[in-house]
Amino acid sequence: MIRARTTLLGMLSVVLLLVPSRLGADTEIPAFARKYRVSCNMCHAPVPRLTAFGNTFAANGFRFGSEEQPRDTIYTGDELLDLPSTLPLAMRMDIYAQAITNGDVGTDWQTPYNIKLMSGGTLSKKLSYYLYFFLFERGKIGGLEDAYVQYNNIAGQPVDVMVGQFQVSDPMFKRELRLSFHDYVIYRTEVGLQPADLTYDRGIMVPANVAGLTLTGGIVNGNGKGEVQEDLKLDNNYSKNFFGHVTGNLAAWFRLGAMGYTGRENGAVADGPEVTNQLWMLGADATFTVGTFEINAQYIHREDSYPTFSPTDEVAKTDGGFAEVIWQPRESRWYALALYNRIDCNQPLLNVRLGVPTELERYQTVTGGLGWIWHRNIRVMGEVSWDLEREVVRWTLGLVTAF
């Protein structure tokens, strides 16, 4: 049954790769506001959350129109060269102060928490790029996260292709654009010793528009953005992982999506034979808009045949997702949010990569937050998150700015 499902999902992803589609990039940066001499609120409401125009701008390869010629270039007399007059750079800095209660009360100055160097722009009429580098990420140099080139409108059709390093979850909900400090945890959850999750990976992603639907297919290494392996390989085995996503608006207030993911990973326990873990995921995502409220929901079912690469492993079955409510009155600089995360596994194998114990069967948190747009590119926020399983409460005050 597992082999049949993985074969089916692989075929689905390949089919989606052949169907035209369209997908916005991960985020916008102040370099674009400088380039076009516009306010950040054209693309963000509030920063870093994208407006409808911001999504279209990103999908067009950071252009106002899909056929727009590159701007701010140096004239060299060479028709085959579109060279930007300046290198588009921007920075983002996150500063937080936290209090943690788990029987005792502790405080933590996370000043700064993150510092990103970001760059993006056009390289030709249809080719663009985007990248950001963590100069500082939670106490260390984080390195490259997003780093890809994007080609728009292949053969004049609404087909784009992105090649590089990106988040597999981007067609569903973009983690980098969330307003909460607390994460969309299901995307970064690993099971056992299997390295695959739905955050950063290297590969190709092809999005397109077909009959009002957005279809996305992709092929990735399946082991994240880790370091080089033996023989100068970045993939730690020879197989590839496949994913696909389809989404569309069923009404002006309701968007529904479905996803599939399949792959395999080879590994072995100490002195044991090599074992292949077959992995597959199926899920659904949705967005509801009700007046000034936006409700986002994600559900994913995952199965791993040999999660610790031991011949005695039982199939690990994982179910999880999140529900998020965002409230922002029109023309207001205030917003409020609530976020619920829950993940269940039939074995203590969950690794949510959030600094919590890795041998978990359940992860469950409730988060509430309030924010204010101090300036177009400066957001002040407060948040409280309660870990229901470990009975830990985390209070967060923060400032997020990009310039």
When divided into structural domains, the chain yields a total of 1
- Distance, C-alpha 385 to centroid of its chain: 21
CATH number at residue 148: 2.40.160.10
Mean pLDDT of 183-209: 96
Mean pLDDT of 249-266: 96
| pLDDT value of position 72 | 74
Confidence of residue 73 (pLDDT cuts 50, 70, 90): confident
Kindly report the CA angle at 297 between 295 and 302, in degrees rounded to 5? 175
Alpha carbons 279 and 171: distance in angstroms, whole number: 20
Condensed to tens digits (0 to 9), the pLDDT of residues 338-385 reads 999 999 999 999 999 888 888 899 999 999 999 999 998 899 999 999
State pTM to two decimals.
0.86
Q: Which amino acid is at 255?
A: R
| pLDDT value of position 23 | 53
| pLDDT value of position 35 | 67
Percentage of the chain modeled with pLDDT above 90: 61
pLDDT averaged over every residue in the chain: 87
| pLDDT value of position 42 | 64
Condensed to tens digits (0 to 9), the pLDDT of residues 178-188 reads 999 999 999 99
- Can you give the three-state secondary structure of the chain, one letter per residue? CHHHHHHHHHHHHHHHHCCCECCCCCCCCHHHHHHHCCCHHHCECCCCCECHHHHHHHHCCCCCCCCCCCCCEECCCCCCCCEECCCCCEEEEEEEEEEEECCCEEEEEEEEEEEEEEEEEECCCCEEEEEEEEEEECCECCEEEEEEEEECCHHHCCECEEEEEEECCCCCCCHHHCCCCCCCHHHHCEECCECCCCCEEEEEEEEEEECCEEEEEEEECCCCCCCCCHHHCCCCCCCCEEEEEEEEEEECCEEEEEEEEEEEEEECCCCCCCEEEEEEEEEEEEEEEECCEEEEEEEEEEEECCCCCCCCCCCEEEEEEEEEEEECCCCCCEEEEEEEEEEEECCCCEECCCCCCCCECEEEEEEEEEEEEEECCEEEEEEEEEECCCCEEEEEEEEEEEC
User: Is pLDDT of 248 > 80?
Assistant: yes
Residue 319 or 88, more confident: 319
Residue 306 or 38, more confident: 306
Using only C-alpha atoms, the chain has a radius of gyration, in whole angstroms, of 21
| pLDDT value of position 22 | 46
| pLDDT value of position 386 | 97
Whole domain around residue 175: which residue ranges? 2-402
Condensed to tens digits (0 to 9), the pLDDT of residues 124-135 reads 888 999 999 999
Contact (Cβ atoms closer than 8 angstroms) between residue 185 and residue 360: no
Confidence of residue 4 (pLDDT cuts 50, 70, 90): very low
Mean pLDDT of 86-92: 88
Contacts of 327 (CB under 8 A, 6+ apart): 292, 293, 294, 335, 336, 337
Contact (Cβ atoms closer than 8 angstroms) between residue 196 and residue 224: yes
User: Is pLDDT of 219 > 70?
Assistant: yes
Alpha carbon distances (Å) from 311 to 38, 289, 293, 339? 59, 48, 49, 38
CA dihedral 189→340→374→91, nearest 10 degrees, is 10
Mean pLDDT of 200-206: 97
